[in-house]
Structure 1
């Protein structure tokens, strides 16, 4: 029903224009005595031009229907991705209207379009050199929309400390909404040319890590049990896949452990890390264990006794 409502207006206008074309002999016979043949022919040109523009309007409406979302938001409240990316839909609409304008020039006004295309090519080259950075961002945005490395609602981390949920992907930039509610606008060229992490793909669950340093005197098995029990009690840590603890390195200051856990919301990653570290510190305190501290070994060299003969010779 929605598609029929959106396409009904262009269809009705095209039907009216077709009726005017069918009644052209009758209209010419009644218009020429009053307005003359020139204005009567102008009426034909107006009808033909309007028919091309209305056809382009109907094509744009069809593109909008294809680019619309798939039936509202997801069950979790995030918006569903469109069937056709917004940038590609804008390009298709621009192409449809451009074809309609060229058709009016060629078939209605009977003007040569080859010279116009050549002249416009030179103008486009000049504008392209002046706006090369913006054009690079536009084509990067088109490539991102075709490849779909991220979509609306995904949580991205572009660099350490720069992360947010994708709110908009337009012609030039991608807008993220950070966890503090601020908007981060990043040009598409920077996004396409750099490494980023998508916490929402291929599935919402992802694994995060927290490094912890403990003294070497603590048995490894005991340390792993304490850290694992802390992660299982932390809020936001998924029970499956099961968290685990690995020995990362043995350093002069102690043994470095890596507590690995799974979460399902990139927006709450900092809160989940806080919950894990809070639970770890609580378990260590109850077990009577403190995190490792930097150890320094200081050695004092005894003072050297003076050589009596060398001192005597030096004084002489």
Structure 2
């Protein structure tokens, strides 16, 4: 069957394909299942009609002298490829889900959608318009290498941003401690950099490529409670058991400390100069660290003085 003989069916396919585009946009994005089923229906009908009339969308057709019919055939094949892309994208949007991590899932979906559109675009250029895609890809590769070398640092930040987004070592608002000693809350994160607002109310902008190589301690996970420790040196004028008992009483009288788990007093070492103790306790939030430490030191001093303990 010649191209001219199937002109009318092709025109109907074009109308059907255009209708599928309108239906695709008319169905709300939240109804992903309905959109996918409808899209598959349009795609299946278009595929069946094209194959019935001997038109293979993934083969390059030899176009004849009937320019209007050729344009109709080209449009029909382009619409078929578009509907194929949307059908695959429908599966990606519906079934690529990372439980409890919607942002990571959305990022992976967007990357796959971009790859699908790129592949369909190359297929249309090759199978519909007869372009030499291999030469185009080779030329694009040279351009990509040149741009990659010129934008090496920027691309490093972008890919590091993708890795950080997928790994999610922190969320917005988390309190983090970096390997270089920077401590603050994550106030903003984007493809290029992460902004950390420090306790001094300054904003440190860290390129993602630098941040990805750092050790990041998230002070907000698994919960907001924090463990602190205070080291004391007491003159060895009393028995160690008596000294540890006084320290336990001091910690028990602190209102800023959590009671579960209980504060711990550990003997670190003892010699002729001092009894070294480590007082460990937990506070409810990072904001309680300084007030709790102040209260602990004050009460340790008070109880130690009442028990005639002297600091070494």
User: 1:209 and 2:234 equivalent?
Assistant: no
Aligned Cα root-mean-square deviation (Å): 4.3
User: 1:93 and 2:113 equivalent?
Assistant: yes
Evaluate the alpha carbon distance shift between residue 248 and residue 138 of structure 1 in structure 2; reply closer, same or farther with a 3 A threshold. farther
- The equivalent of 1:6 in structure 2 is 32
Q: Distance between the aligned counterparts of 1:135 and 1:198, measured in 2?
A: 26
Q: Distance between the aligned counterparts of 1:164 and 1:58, measured in 2?
A: 45
Confirm or deny: 8 A CA contact 2:256 2:291 kept in the other structure: no
- The equivalent of 2:20 in structure 1 is none
Confirm or deny: 8 A CA contact 1:177 1:183 kept in the other structure: yes
Q: Distance between the aligned counterparts of 1:6 and 1:95, measured in 2?
A: 20
Evaluate the alpha carbon distance shift between residue 89 and residue 157 of structure 1 in structure 2; reply closer, same or farther with a 3 A threshold. farther
Larger Rg: 1
Q: Alpha-carbon deviation of 1:169?
A: 5.4
Q: Distance between the aligned counterparts of 1:165 and 1:132, measured in 2?
A: 28
Unaligned runs of 5+ in 2: 1-27, 54-64
Unaligned runs of 5+ in 1: 27-35, 71-79, 296-316
- The equivalent of 2:71 in structure 1 is 42
- The equivalent of 1:111 in structure 2 is 131
SS in 2 for 1:258: strand
- The equivalent of 2:18 in structure 1 is none
User: 1:228 and 2:228 equivalent?
Assistant: no
Q: Distance between the aligned counterparts of 1:251 and 1:175, measured in 2?
A: 48
Confirm or deny: 8 A CA contact 1:175 1:183 kept in the other structure: yes
Q: Distance between the aligned counterparts of 2:108 and 2:189, measured in 1?
A: 11
- For residues 1-316 of structure 1, the aligned pairs below 5 Å read 5-9=31-35, 11-12=37-38, 15-16=41-42, 19=45, 37-65=66-94, 70=99, 80-82=100-102, 84-85=104-105, 87-145=107-165, 148=167, 150-152=169-171, 155-159=175-179, 162-164=182-184, 170-176=190-196, 185-199=205-219, 207-217=227-237, 219-234=239-254, 237-248=257-268, 255-263=275-283, 268-288=285-305
Confirm or deny: 8 A CA contact 1:87 1:170 kept in the other structure: no
Kindly tell me the number of residue pairs found equivalent between the two proteins.
271
SS in 2 for 1:239: coil
Confirm or deny: 8 A CA contact 2:78 2:124 kept in the other structure: yes
Per-residue CA deviations over 1:30-81 (Å, capped at 9, x if unaligned) read xxxxxx94233323323332333344345445444556675xxxxxxxxx53
Q: Distance between the aligned counterparts of 2:66 and 2:137, measured in 1?
A: 32
Confirm or deny: 8 A CA contact 1:254 1:292 kept in the other structure: no
Q: Distance between the aligned counterparts of 1:291 and 1:139, measured in 2?
A: 58
SS in 1 for 2:132: coil
Q: Alpha-carbon deviation of 1:273?
A: 4.2
Evaluate the alpha carbon distance shift between residue 217 and residue 89 of structure 1 in structure 2; reply closer, same or farther with a 3 A threshold. farther
Q: Alpha-carbon deviation of 1:213?
A: 4.4
Q: Alpha-carbon deviation of 1:278?
A: 0.7
